[in-house]
Amino acid sequence: MYFETVISLVAIMGIPYFSYKSILRPAQQMLLDEYEERGLICKRDNKLFVRQSHYFYSKKISNLEAVVTDLQSNPIKIMPLPGKLNVSLIQSYQQESITFLASFFGNSLQFQLVDLGELNEEYRYCFTLIRTRKISVSASAYIYNVILTRIENILKKLDDSIEVQRKVMDYRTIRYK
């Protein structure tokens, strides 16, 4: 009786783990490699870049209008990975910022590209993760990578001499009741 129980528990616990390790994980990695080859994402250190704010400095891009136009004509799409949920992405535009809200089943991430104005004849912009809900920062790396890569590509297309500076963010946790 004890032996059958142990075997049943091992089978119940082992089969999903084995399926993930041998089927889903390699399939996810193959898709990530394909997305990287297509330029949809960049190879990044997931533990580091999700903790960074990305500051862009340009002498040519004086406002976010060209970025908004590009995003309206070709919106960002988060391609699903095997074993992951489909993510809906809402892009909203204000005068001096673009907000991206990625959500799935009550989990959400909010990113923002903000126009910081002009300083020393350079136009400054900041892209950062501003809010997460029910999702860890490390779990959001894929979504962050897709959006950041697209923003970088648009800005590089508009100004090939754009400079990027990265700063590590301080996080704080707020518990909702």
CA angle 155–125–113, rounded 5-degree value = 80
Structure confidence at residue 54 (pLDDT):
93
User: Is there a single domain that holds both residue 8 and residue 58?
Assistant: no
3-state secondary structure of 2: helix
Structure confidence at residue 18 (pLDDT):
47
Q: Which residue has the higher pLDDT, 58 or 4?
A: 58
User: What is the arithmetic mean of pLDDT over 106-129?
Assistant: 92
Structure confidence at residue 19 (pLDDT):
46
User: Is there a single domain that holds both residue 98 and residue 127?
Assistant: yes
Q: Give dist(CA 65, CA 67) in Å, integer.
A: 5
Q: Domain range holding 30?
A: 1-38
3-state secondary structure of 101: strand
DSSP H stretches of helix in the chain? 2-19, 25-37, 46-49, 65-73, 141-158
User: Is there a single domain that holds both residue 31 and residue 59?
Assistant: no
pLDDT in tens, 121-172: 999 999 998 888 777 655 688 888 899 999 999 999 999 999 999 988 776 6
User: What is the arithmetic mean of pLDDT over 29-44?
Assistant: 77
CATH number, position 131: 3.30.530
User: What is the arithmetic mean of pLDDT over 92-102?
Assistant: 93
Output the six-digit token pair for 174. 């707020």
User: Is there a single domain that holds both residue 56 and residue 137?
Assistant: yes
Count how many domains the chain has.
2
pTM of the model: 0.78
pLDDT in tens, 43-84: 888 777 778 899 999 999 999 999 999 999 999 988 876 666
Look at residue 177 and tell me if it is in a domain: no
User: What is the arithmetic mean of pLDDT over 24-35?
Assistant: 70
Structure confidence at residue 172 (pLDDT):
63
